[in-house]
Amino acid sequence: MRLATRLAFGFGLLAALSTIGVGVAVRERLASNEAAQFQREVEGVCSRMVGELRRQGEIDHAIVAADCEENELADALVIALDGSDELRMAGISQRVPKHREAFGFDELVLAADRGAFLVVSPTSLLTMPAREVDALLAGQTKTFEIRSGKGTGAGEKPAMLSRCTRRSLRGFLVGEVGVRHVEPALVRLGTTLDVEVVPTWTTDPAAKPATAPSAAKAASSTPAGTVPGGRARTSCRFEDGLGHALTFDIFKSTKALEVKLRDVERAIALSALVSLSLAVLFAMLLARSQSRPLAVLATEAGKVAGGEARPLGVKKGSREIQELANAFDRMLGDLAVTRRRLAAASRVAAWREVARRVAHEVKNPLAPIRAAVETLRRLRARNDPRFDEYFDEATRTVLDEVHRISNIVTEFTRFARLPPPRPTDIDAEELARHVIQVHRAAAGQTRLTQVTQRRPAQLRADRDQMIQVLTNLVQNALDAVRDVPNGSVTLTTDSDGHYVSFVVTDDGPGIAPEIAARLFEPYATTKATGTGLGLAIAQRIAMEHNGDLSYLGTSANRRGAVFRLLVPIEGPPPMSEVPSSDS
């Protein structure tokens, strides 16, 4: 995996996990805060509803008290009772329903104790026993009072009672009682405040509020503050200050809370996506800025072996990359110095080896020259009659060895001052036929053949130098099979579209392993005659053509030797790149 991909993956994963982790923590904290806030809102609704009920009770009490002070119904009833005015009492009975409607009460009772008088609206309450009427009139009149109720019958519903009373001259307790049912008021408040109210004072399971057909059961089994079925609940208590109280539960839908939490989750997901995108973009930019110098470094490092690497000169990037680039540049400088030193040492070592072998080759003919001269001097000193007879032989020996030394010097000069190749377009197959034709006369009984496998295209090479190499190889092969009956030498030409190969095969005795290892060294030879520079010169020509000359071992029948000359079709490098003949 590339550096850019690894950084993008790592940064993206880190950003996504960090954002999601922080987001989840924030979401949980926010959910907890929102839930607590939501519960406080529900509890605030409870306080508001209790306050509205209390305010309504106080208003009702003020209305009833004002009605008594203005000598309305209660005063008229006192006068009627004191005068036993049946007609007046009948008129009062007709006025009670209008008063109830004007004041907005659910029930309005105008009565005297001891069953002296009873007018109610609605008339369904006329069945109230006299003792209940007396108990109703006997209550306190300073504030409203809560009637908790014991069932769902008439006169039994939970309500707020507001009363005013006075005594008649005949001792009757006359009073006006306004009754407002609590449950309808709660329903109206619940609708206004968008909550669901479930009374808990109901003892009859069949009596369920119309606004919450299934909430009574939930209220009886769910603790306050939980959210069953997507609703929040709280319990409320409404008191009148006289020890009477009503309790009811409020349920509020948590849909708004859930919408908020979903918005938070979407915001977290969007933040994670944005963070991931930014992290990946940042990682890619960072990786590109960091990997570009590394890619250049890798490219130049791959050129080190070929000697083509150039200093990077990196000015951008992190400090570590700059230090790495500077170290690479220093290494290139040190490597160049080392190569020059190694090349110089190699040249010195090569010339030392050549000088040693030249000295060895020159020393061999000097021995017979010295022996011949010393013999002539002894014969001359003794005036030996054989002097004249030996003189001719001695001088011939000296001349032969001097000629041999001259040949060694000439060959060495050719090796040392080999001219650079001058390539031209040549036909490789025609070149091979020419070499075979030149040596056919000298082959004698040896079978000399030329084979073409895949006809090569035009080859750019120095024709004379190519002929020199092939002549050396063919001549060596002919020398190897000279004493082999029915010996054969084959020159095979082939091409793969990029290189042309010339393979020379013979079926001679082959080459000993100890000689094969140094075949291409100067003055290495197995022949009694010759300087041993032929293969060294041939290999140098191949190298200067950007090719190769190699010994491949024995042939397919495990006899003889196989040499291959490999030359590129496009020819040798330009003259400026050819190694100097003096190197």
Model pLDDT, residue 530: 56
Most confidently predicted of 33-47, 219-233, 312-326: 33-47
DSSP 126: G
Q: Summarize pLDDT for 518-544 with one digit per residue, the tens.
A: 777 766 666 655 556 778 888 888 888
DSSP letter (8 states) at residue 517 = T
Name the average pLDDT for the chain. 77
Radius of gyration of the chain (CA): 64
The reported pLDDT for the residue numbered 1 is 57
| Residue 91 clears pLDDT 80, i.e. is over it | no
User: What is the band of 137 on the pLDDT scale with cuts at 50, 70, 90?
Assistant: confident
> Where does 444-507 have alpha helices with state H?
463-480
Residue (of 47, 36, 160) closest to 106 by Cα position? 160
H helices of 382-462, in order, are: 387-416, 428-443
3-state secondary structure of 384: coil
Domains annotated for the chain, with CATH where assigned, are 304-416 (1.10.287), 424-577 (3.30.565.10)
Binned at pLDDT 50, 70 and 90, residue 564 comes out as very high
| Whether 550 contacts 564, CB under 8 Å | yes
d(CA 117, CA 107): 17
CA distance 45 to 189: 10
- Token pair belonging to 210: 């119309």
**What is the mean pLDDT of the segment spanning 214-233?**
46
**Residue 565 pLDDT greater than 90, yes or no:** yes
Distances in Å between the alpha carbon of 366 and those of 353, 359, 373, 380, 406? 20, 10, 11, 21, 12
Q: Which of 19-33, 84-98, 182-196, 266-280 has the highest mean pLDDT?
A: 182-196
Structure tokens at 494: 């082939």
Q: Is the Cβ–Cβ distance between 131 and 138 less than 8 Å? A: no
Determine the Cα–Cα distance for residues 4 and 288; give it in Å rounded to an integer. 7
- Residue 313: predicted pLDDT: 61
Average pLDDT rounded to a whole number, residues 183-202 = 85
β-strand partners of 162? 178
Residues 430-464 as b or e (16 or more Cβ within 10 Å = b): ebbebbbeebeeebeebebebeeeeebeebbbbbe
Confidence (pLDDT) at 203 = 42
Determine the average pLDDT of the residues in 321-349.
70
pTM score, two decimals? Answer: 0.43
What's the average model confidence in pLDDT over 422-437? 90
DSSP H helices, 150-200, are: 182-193
- Of 67-76, 252-261, 364-373, the one with minimum mean pLDDT is 67-76
Please give the pLDDT value at position 242: 84
- Pairing status of strand 548-553 against strand 562-568: antiparallel
371's tokens: 């022996």
Per-residue model confidence (pLDDT) at position 209? 41
Using an 8 Å Cβ cutoff, are 581 and 418 in contact? yes
pLDDT for 314 beyond 90: no
In this structure, the strands spanning 196-199 and 245-253 are: antiparallel
Take residue 220 and report the two structure tokens written for it.
């009886």
The answer to whether residue 224 scores a pLDDT higher than 50 is no
Tokens of 256: 């708004």
CB 490 within 8 A of CB 561: no
Q: pLDDT tens digits, residue range 439-497?
A: 887 888 888 999 988 877 688 999 988 998 999 899 889 988 888 888 899 999 998 88
Across 343-353, average pLDDT: 64
Higher pLDDT residue, 388 or 494?
Answer: 494
d(CA 179, CA 143): 13
Strands (E), 144-241: 145-147, 159-167, 173-181, 196-199, 231-239
Residues 393-410, mean pLDDT to the nearest whole number: 79
Q: In what order do the strands lie in the sheet with 196-199?
A: 196-199, 245-253, 231-239
Residue 3 has pLDDT above 70, yes or no: no
3 state SS of 218:
helix
- Model pLDDT, residue 51: 92
Task: State the pLDDT confidence band at 502, using cuts at 50, 70 and 90.
Answer: very high
What pLDDT, in 10s, does the model give residues 29-64?
877 887 788 778 888 888 999 999 999 999 999 988
Rounded to the nearest angstrom, the gap between the alpha carbon of residue 244 and the centroid of all alpha carbons in its chain is 70
pLDDT band, residue 562 (cuts 50/70/90): very high
Element of type H or E holding 147: strand 145-147
Asked whether the beta carbons of 126 and 140 are under 8 A apart, the reply is no
Residue 223 has a pLDDT of 40
Is residue 477 within 8 Å of 506, Cβ to Cβ? yes
> Which pLDDT band, with edges at 50, 70 and 90, does 412 fall under?
low
Please indicate whether residue 495 or residue 213 has the higher confidence score (pLDDT): 495
Q: How many CB atoms lie within 10 A of CB 36?
A: 11
Give the pLDDT band of residue 501 (cuts 50, 70, 90).
very high
Measured CA distances, 118 to 95, 121, 398 (Å): 13, 10, 176
- Where do we find the tokens 């004249």? 388
pLDDT tier at 228, thresholds 50, 70, 90: very low
pLDDT tens sequence across 201-211: 754 433 344 33
In this prediction, residue 306 has a pLDDT band, given cuts at 50, 70 and 90, of low
Res 577: pLDDT: 44
What pLDDT is attached to residue 563? 93
